[in-house]
Chain A
Amino acid sequence: MPESPVPQPSPAAPPAGRIAQRFRELAASRELGLVVYVTAGDPSLDATRDIVEAAAKAGADVIELGVPFSDPLADGPAIQRASERALRAGTTLAGVIGLAARLRERTQVPLILFSYFNPILQMGLDKFAADAATAGVDGALATDLNPDEAEDYRTALRARGLDTIFLAAPTSTDARLERIAKSSSGFVYLVSRMGVTGAREALPEELPALAAHVRRFTPLPLAVGFGISQPAHMARIGAIADAAVVGSAVVQEIERAPTAAEAAANVARLVQALKGAARKSARRI
């Protein structure tokens, strides 16, 4: 399908820090946040727009718009397949930014672009930051860009008021956690386990200790992702973090649905179930 039109300026200037604002609200109501990942353009950008709108209405607190990449080396099979479908549909980074602009006409849910670094680099850091900000995007996370290589990227994004979210991992040393904390804004994304993305039955035993350790390095909200897929996971995440990220489980709902409309309905159902559990999960004190 053809690319979406160039991003239109959002109708009203967005309030600064939608992500921070949402986490403040979550903290006030003592709720666990729910971050929902979808691969943009799977099966089409129009379908993604409907799916994201449905997810936001169903209770998603933050949306990660996945930018499909030809070589998603941090992703498991579900997101690999979604990326292939999205690329076959002609999805580009510019198209995803255009989608963000269209979403902004309908919802104020915080939007994060979740991409591998190369498409951002080819667009140009300044143009990426400018177009994303104009479209009403709130932040970005580049999977294969760690803080060591991210100086220019951070400068470009900061200049446009975009949050830079970085990953923290079970292997991150204390020195690295310090750097990650210093480089991040919005929230810190804690990778729950060694490995690639993908839904799993059980959460790692050592996750609470890991989250507590990472927490010592940053006052920012902590979102935990990789392998989180079920309402039953929410209570455990609620005890240790501010938000749970669910990606592959959402992407699989989209993959299984025979039509785009059903995909949106199924994702909404999953998000409702997850958010329902998240609301009951006592937030850490």
Chain B
Amino acid sequence: MSTLARAMAESVPDARGRYGSYGGRYVPETLVAPLEELEHVWIEASADSGFQSELAVLLRDFAGRPTPLQFASRLSLHLGGPRIYLKREDLLHTGAHKINNCLGQGLLALRMGKRRVIAETGAGQHGVATAAVAARLGLACTVYMGTEDMERQRLNVFRMRLLGAEVIGVDAGSRTLKDAINEAMRDWVTNVRTSHYLLGSALGAHPYPQIVRDFQKVIGEEARQQILQKESRLPDHLFACVGGGSNAIGLFHAFLQDSSVKMVGVEAGGRGKTLGEHAARLAAARGFTGACPGVLQGAYTYVLQTADGQIASTHSVSAGLDYPAVGPEHAWLAEVGRAEYTAVADEEAIEAAKTLARIEGIIPALESAHAVAELIRRAPRMSPEEIVILNLSGRGDKDMETLARYA
């Protein structure tokens, strides 16, 4: 596996934005040239020390990096299994890992001379992070959000507006993240000469999955250094939730070449295993049905869909995981067996959030609680010598109403 892992880390995506057969650039012609421009600007910026240091300062002083890698001693004891470390992305400004990518893409927008950013949001975390970064960098900001998500994440709608963003409700389709992305793309295709689409996950057309991953890989790079300092060795397991998959790929990426490190991505199992009841794209082995490779919103990847190729509706208690496609790099990691993907149900995630709150004094975002739930499931079968890093990608303040309903 290590040869494969090394090959993967070095060669994906290829020049056409392919992770194995996944990824690519399936967009209407109008958007191809803007994506080529973005790719070009990104390659330049990656090699520009001025850009990198400007980003590093913002990540440190505005966002609060590095985030701690906290030994969760009481949870470790409680579960009676491995030594558990939490990567505390929830402590970042605006409450989730999303700000890492927003700062990077915000600077790219400035570099392209675009004074307006467009974003979609599901749980509202990416919208809030985009709104904050836009305010900080002096950019105009429009956020699209499904009306169902606006209902369940009202607090974040208020936050975005307070930060000066225009929040536009999307009433089409399932009124969730997927529909917000459609509307954001319609805005972008209309205003592409003046606006940057600040896509929030490792999704969509090339180069977005790569750009978002590269802005999020700081999570894993820090965690790798931190665990080597604390334990003098690499972890045995990584856990992260997977909606589009940006926090997971952010954690995984720095460990891809370390073949001893096992990776688990946790999707939303929702309230059942039949199509429409869940948002598990890569967990077919667990009995979740309805996902197969297809094209949605720019990329070829695993998509929950009908036999006729219509995109299915999804369900999850967590708006941030409630999406029918998965980032193409995860589809590739699943196919080659480098990472394992599973799913947990709504109730298990809620219970896990409560457990973490009571035992560690941390209320996780319901998205991150899915990863916690899978860890709770597996920990009793692990040995005390094993080391786990779990990406606590966001905090749960936004989920109080949902949590209260399940109390």
Q: Which residues does A use to contact B, with CB under 8 Å?
A: 69-74, 76, 80, 84, 87, 92-94, 116-123, 143-146, 148-149, 166-173, 176, 180, 191, 194-196
Name the segment of B21-29, B87-95, B210-218 touching the other chain. B21-29
Name the segment of B190-198, B263-271, B372-380 touching the other chain. B190-198
**B interface, by DSSP: helix, strand, loop or mixed?**
mixed
List the A side residues contacting B31 at CB < 8 Å.
171
Docked Cα-Cα span, A195 to B24, in Å, equals 22
B143 at interface (Cβ–Cβ under 8 A)? Answer: no
List the B side residues contacting A92 at CB < 8 Å.
308
List the A side residues contacting B191 at CB < 8 Å.
194
Indicate which residue in B33, B172, B179, B189 contacts A74 across the interface (CB closer than 8 Å).
B189
List the A side residues contacting B404 at CB < 8 Å.
none
Q: Which residues does B use to contact A, with CB under 8 Å?
A: 16, 24-34, 36, 172-173, 178-179, 181-182, 185-186, 189-193, 292, 294-298, 303, 305, 307-311
List the B side residues contacting A121 at CB < 8 Å.
294-295, 309
Given A146-B25, A172-B33, do A117 and B308 touch, yes or no (CB 8 Å)?
A: no
CB pairs A–B below 8 angstroms (9 shown): A93-B308, A121-B294, A121-B309, A122-B307, A143-B28, A144-B295, A173-B36, A191-B29, A196-B190
Given A146-B25, A166-B29, do A73 and B185 touch, yes or no (CB 8 Å)?
A: yes
Interface centre among B185, B186, B298, B308 (most CB of A within 10 A): B308
Indicate which residue in B29, B172, B182, B305 contacts A176 across the interface (CB closer than 8 Å).
B29
Given A70-B173, A93-B308, A146-B32, do A117 and B26 touch, yes or no (CB 8 Å)?
A: yes
List the B side residues contacting A74 at CB < 8 Å.
28, 186, 189
Nearest chain-A residue to B190 (Cβ)? A195
Indicate which residue in B28, B190, B296, B305 contacts A146 across the interface (CB closer than 8 Å).
B28
List the B side residues contacting A169 at CB < 8 Å.
28-30, 32-33
Nearest chain-A residue to B185 (Cβ)? A73
Given A118-B294, A121-B294, A176-B33, do A145 and B26 touch, yes or no (CB 8 Å)?
A: yes
B296 lies within 8 A of A71 (CB) = yes
Given contacts A71-B311, A73-B186, A171-B30, 20 further A-B contacts (CB under 8 A): A71-B178, A71-B179, A80-B172, A93-B309, A118-B294, A118-B296, A118-B303, A118-B305, A118-B309, A118-B311, A144-B295, A146-B27, A149-B25, A169-B28, A171-B33, A173-B33, A180-B29, A191-B30, A195-B186, A196-B186
List the A side residues contacting B24 at CB < 8 Å.
149
Nearest chain-A residue to B172 (Cβ)? A80
Interface centre among A117, A149, A168, A172 (most CB of B within 10 A): A149
Q: Smallest distance from the beta carbon of A30 to chain B beta carbons, Å?
A: 29
Q: Smallest distance from the beta carbon of A222 to chain B beta carbons, Å?
A: 14
**4 pairs of A and B residues whose beta carbons are closest in the complex:** A122-B309, A119-B309, A195-B190, A169-B30
List the B side residues contacting A167 at CB < 8 Å.
28-30
A194 lies within 8 A of B295 (CB) = no
Docked Cα-Cα span, A148 to B18, in Å, equals 12
List the A side residues contacting B292 at CB < 8 Å.
122
Q: Smallest distance from the beta carbon of B329 to chain A beta carbons, Å?
A: 18
Docked Cα-Cα span, A238 to B292, in Å, equals 45
Q: Smallest distance from the beta carbon of A145 to chain B beta carbons, Å?
A: 6
List the B side residues contacting A80 at CB < 8 Å.
172
List the B side residues contacting A118 at CB < 8 Å.
294-296, 303, 305, 309, 311
B297 lies within 8 A of A71 (CB) = yes
List the A side residues contacting B32 at CB < 8 Å.
146, 148, 169, 171-172, 176
A194 lies within 8 A of B29 (CB) = no
Nearest chain-A residue to B24 (Cβ)? A149
List the A side residues contacting B33 at CB < 8 Å.
169, 171-173, 176
List the B side residues contacting A149 at CB < 8 Å.
24-26
Docked Cα-Cα span, A171 to B181, in Å, equals 21
Docked Cα-Cα span, A171 to B16, in Å, equals 19
A69 lies within 8 A of B189 (CB) = no
Q: Smallest distance from the beta carbon of B111 to chain A beta carbons, Å?
A: 19
List the B side residues contacting A146 at CB < 8 Å.
25-29, 32
A144 lies within 8 A of B26 (CB) = yes
Docked Cα-Cα span, A7 to B296, in Å, equals 27
List the A side residues contacting B294 at CB < 8 Å.
118, 121-122
B189 lies within 8 A of A194 (CB) = yes
Docked Cα-Cα span, A17 to B323, in Å, equals 42
Nearest chain-A residue to B181 (Cβ)? A73
Q: Smallest distance from the beta carbon of B116 to chain A beta carbons, Å?
A: 14
A122 lies within 8 A of B308 (CB) = yes
Q: Smallest distance from the beta carbon of B170 to chain A beta carbons, Å?
A: 11
List the B side residues contacting A76 at CB < 8 Å.
186
Docked Cα-Cα span, A121 to B295, in Å, equals 8
Q: Smallest distance from the beta carbon of A211 to chain B beta carbons, Å?
A: 15
Docked Cα-Cα span, A108 to B95, in Å, equals 61
B30 lies within 8 A of A71 (CB) = no
Given A70-B311, A122-B294, A146-B27, do A171 and B192 touch, yes or no (CB 8 Å)?
A: yes
Nearest chain-B residue to A80 (Cβ)? B172
Docked Cα-Cα span, A195 to B30, in Å, equals 8
Q: Smallest distance from the beta carbon of A205 to chain B beta carbons, Å?
A: 15
List the B side residues contacting A119 at CB < 8 Å.
308-310
Q: Smallest distance from the beta carbon of B48 to chain A beta carbons, Å?
A: 24
Nearest chain-B residue to A94 (Cβ)? B308
Docked Cα-Cα span, A168 to B30, in Å, equals 8
List the A side residues contacting B303 at CB < 8 Å.
118
Nearest chain-A residue to B37 (Cβ)? A171
Q: Smallest distance from the beta carbon of B282 to chain A beta carbons, Å?
A: 18
Q: Smallest distance from the beta carbon of B150 to chain A beta carbons, Å?
A: 19
Nearest chain-A residue to B298 (Cβ)? A144
B29 lies within 8 A of A123 (CB) = no
Docked Cα-Cα span, A70 to B173, in Å, equals 7
Interface centre among B16, B32, B172 (most CB of A within 10 A): B32
Indicate which residue in A70, A94, A120, A168 contacts B310 across the interface (CB closer than 8 Å).
A70
Docked Cα-Cα span, A70 to B309, in Å, equals 9
B27 lies within 8 A of A144 (CB) = yes
Q: Smallest distance from the beta carbon of A3 to chain B beta carbons, Å?
A: 9
Nearest chain-B residue to A74 (Cβ)? B28
